[in-house]
């Protein structure tokens, strides 16, 4: 985990210093006095001891990854009801650093209204989940995030056209999440958030307010927090919401009635252009 990586870095640093002392041609040996080299070694050993201590202490059990694909179901411990605004699922694949950044912006805002927005992370592909565990498992333990893994055993590398395979897997991932939340768990609404987004401070307040409009207006099929023209030079009224026939995507919410309808003919690929 993070502790292991830090300890490994310190070991490598210590090994570098030791090797530099053994070779007269090494720049560190030529420029570093003996006493400084010794101090670096002592500091490395102390750091190793400090970071090794947690390895011998009892730790919290990792949250389990719940895996599925297609039309398989996962039952959550959450009890979805009409008072809940919407669960939020962050859709990710193989960019743990991006996901970390999204959580950095999202969690401080989410903590103020977490009961209305149960938080989940869903990662596509079993082969990449290990890369996320060290980065997000401690966050998941603290903030009670549900960890989902969309995996059907295939990899795009095995496909003839890996780019098209990627589009197919994205569509399958979204379709599976719609099925899990709406069909298997009867969620009233669902917010999708991609793993490379920074949310604004009014993100949850916006969706809480707009959820009533979504439920009461049959002409609306989703609410989005993204506007391609939303930069300050182009905004006249920052409190206005606009109707559009273009699917903004990215951070958006839809109701159960719409999701059930969409699932009857969910596309095999390019879901966002469908």
- Please give the Cα distance from 50 to 3 (Å, whole number): 10
- Please give the Cα distance from 224 to 201 (Å, whole number): 15
- Please give the Cα distance from 184 to 263 (Å, whole number): 13
Element (H, E) at 149: strand 146-150
β-partners of residue 224 are 252
Catalytic residue among 9, 30, 161, 272: 272
- Please give the Cα distance from 36 to 10 (Å, whole number): 16
- Joined tokens for residue 148: 């989902």
Catalytic-residue membership of 237 = no
- Please give the Cα distance from 54 to 31 (Å, whole number): 36
- Please give the Cα distance from 144 to 135 (Å, whole number): 15
Of 264, 266, 229, 267, which Cα lies nearest the Cα of 246? 229
Element (H, E) at 192: strand 189-194
- Please give the Cα distance from 239 to 32 (Å, whole number): 61
Of 63, 61, 56, 110, which Cα lies nearest the Cα of 87? 110
Q: List the 223-224 sheet strands across, edge first.
A: 65-68, 146-150, 119-124, 88-92, 189-194, 252-255, 223-224
Residue 239 phi, psi (nearest 5): -100, 0
Give the catalytic positions in this structure.
272
């Amino acid at each position: 985990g993070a502790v292991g990586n830090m300890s490994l870095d310190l070991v490598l640093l210590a090994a570098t210093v030791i090797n530099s002392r053994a070779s007269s041609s090494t720049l560190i040996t030529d420029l570093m006095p003996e006493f400084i080299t010794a101090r670096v070694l002592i500091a490395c050993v102390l750091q190793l001891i400090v970071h090794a201590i947690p390895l011998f202490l009892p730790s919290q059990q990792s949250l389990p990854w719940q895996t599925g694909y297609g039309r398989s179901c996962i039952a959550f411990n959450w009890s979805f009801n009409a008072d809940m605004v919407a669960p939020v699922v962050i859709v990710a694949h193989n960019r743990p650093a991006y996901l970390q950044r999204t959580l950095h912006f999202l969690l401080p805002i989410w903590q103020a209204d977490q009961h209305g927005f149960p938080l989940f992370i869903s990662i596509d592909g079993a082969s990449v989940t290990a890369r996320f565990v060290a980065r997000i498992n401690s966050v998941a333990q603290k903030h009670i995030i549900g960890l989902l893994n969309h995996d059907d055993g295939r990899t795009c590398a095995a496909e003839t056209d890996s780019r098209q395979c990627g589009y197919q897997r994205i569509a399958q991932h979204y379709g599976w999440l719609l099925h899990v939340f709406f069909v298997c768990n009867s969620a009233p609404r669902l917010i999708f958030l991609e793993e490379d987004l920074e949310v604004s401070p009014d993100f949850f307040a916006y969706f809480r307010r707009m959820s009533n409009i979504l439920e009461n207006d049959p002409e609306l099929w989703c609410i989005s927090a993204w506007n391609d023209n939303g930069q300050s030079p182009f905004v006249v009224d920052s409190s206005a919401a606009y109707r559009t026939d273009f699917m903004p995507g990215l951070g958006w919410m839809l109701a159960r009635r719409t999701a059930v309808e969409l699932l009857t003919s969910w596309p095999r690929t390019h879901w966002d252009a469908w």
